Amino acid sequence: MFVEHPQRVALHNEIHARPFGGVSSPTRCSCIAFHAGEELDDNVREHFIAFCERFSLTPPAPDQKYFEATCDGFSVIWERHAEFTVYVFKRMEPFDNPFDDPVINLVPQDWLSETPGQLMVGLHIVVEKTDRTEDEISRLFDHNGLTGSRVLGGTAQVWTDFRLHGDGFGRMLVKDQGMEQLQAGRLVQRLKEIEVYRMMALLAFPMAHCATPKVSEIDTRLSEITAEMASKTQADDEETLSKLTDLAAQTEEMAASLNYRFSAARAYYRIVQARLIELREERIEGVQTITEFMERRLAPAMRTCQNIGDRLEVLSKRVARANNLLRTRVDILLEAQNRDLLASMDRRVKLQLRLQQTVEGLSVAAITYYAVGLLGYLFKAIKDTGAPINDRVATGIAVPLVLGAIWFSMHRIRKALHRADD
């Protein structure tokens, strides 16, 4: 009946691309995320296929980015993103100590050690209904300063210290106070995403720190060059232009190397902010909320990255303006030189014209002299034949006539040449 778009079904199902199953209390999750770019995509996929073969699981399809399955004693979730890969291992059964014997201990250690990429996030998330005192909760986090809040309309409490513990993993404790299974699953997913995207966003922060002195150096050099431009003579413009070109190349190179990382950081930070809003936090008296902690720690880092990006953009524009200004000055100087050159050429042409006119006058006199001489010989020959003629008088009379004829001929020739040039 209708001509269906080839991507309709895929786009329609995209909203269900990364579902997170329900979670019932008690549950323990171990989440690990590896920084692995698109160049490692085949290695990441082959590595997870090897995991599936160990547990007799049907591996994900070649174009599949999300996979969830149940193994012996635990379940696994695999997420493949453009820059990173996330593994979540879940186990829903009772336990004594929330963070003793985590789920990741059930995963083959040799397989874990060969995971492609670099570890970015290691996080244990525990969901339980056990009532614990503040001191008990503090002991679970080695008495570190805690961050926590009531979330999802008071149906749960979340506690964390945002620190790495002896096993290299962070810890989050969720107290279930009446959550539905799907609601609990979404909460675990949000907490996992907050930690993963927080770390991915912070990848830009060290780069911003390293770039800060370089940006300041470029700024200082540009100010010096701009000051020199106001005092330098035209003989120095070529050297100044070379300096500006070099500075522009450095600026663009730095901007190109940082632009992708800063853009990704902004995108990841927006996701973190969205997930924090979705928690719907309510304050626990005397305890800093997760949102407050993020605003105090993560937000300044993101502003630093934004500031460096903005400074680079401003520097690029300033270098371009200085370059254009110098080129304009050079063009004006060249125009002045060309004007002087044309004036000099005009004077030279006038001199040549005068010289030509002088030569032409001398040429008329010379031609007349020789022509009258020839006529003189002719008149003498006629006189010798006995003709009644005075050769001297005839020669004298012929001088103005020959002179006029030669001058008229030269004038006609000059006019003809001018018409040919036009």
For the chain, which residues make up each domain, given as ranges?
Answer: 21-188, 204-339, 352-421
pLDDT, greater one: 316 or 337 = 316
Q: What is the pLDDT of residues 120-138, one digit of tens each?
A: 999 999 999 999 998 999 9
DSSP state of 422: -
What's residue 236's pLDDT?
A: 66
Per-residue tokens: 143: 């008495």
Helices 237-279 and 181-202 cross at an angle (nearest 10°) of 160
Residue type, 414: R
pLDDT at 228 over 80: no
pLDDT at 283 over 80: yes
Task: Give the percent of the chain with pLDDT over 70.
Answer: 92
- Average pLDDT, whole number, for the chain? 86
User: Model confidence at 346, in pLDDT bands (50, 70, 90)?
Assistant: confident
* Ramachandran angles phi, psi of 345, nearest 5°: -65, -40
Residue 35 β-bridge partners:
84, 118
- Residue 101 backbone class (left: φ over 0; alpha: ψ -120 to 50; beta: rest): left
Mean pLDDT of the 158-184 span: 94
Torsion of CA 65, 71, 74, 76, to 10 degrees: -10
pLDDT at 359 over 70: no
Per-residue tokens: 97: 């100590």
Contact (Cβ atoms closer than 8 angstroms) between residue 89 and residue 107: yes
**Dist CA 110 CA 416 (whole Å):** 101
What's residue 31's pLDDT?
A: 97
What's residue 137's pLDDT?
A: 93
User: Model confidence at 331, in pLDDT bands (50, 70, 90)?
Assistant: confident
What's residue 378's pLDDT?
A: 77
What's residue 420's pLDDT?
A: 67
User: Model confidence at 395, in pLDDT bands (50, 70, 90)?
Assistant: confident
pLDDT at 88 over 90: yes
What's residue 86's pLDDT?
A: 96
**Dist CA 246 CA 244 (whole Å):** 5
pLDDT at 422 over 70: no
User: Model confidence at 241, in pLDDT bands (50, 70, 90)?
Assistant: confident
Per-residue tokens: 7: 């991507």
What's residue 244's pLDDT?
A: 82
Q: What is the pLDDT of residues 37-71, one digit of tens each?
A: 889 999 999 999 999 999 999 999 888 889 999 99
Contact (Cβ atoms closer than 8 angstroms) between residue 67 and residue 17: no
Residues whose CB falls within 8 Å of the CB of residue 81, separated by 6 or more in sequence, listed in order: 65
Mean pLDDT of the 254-270 span: 92
- Whether domain 204-339 has CATH 1.20.58: the reply is yes
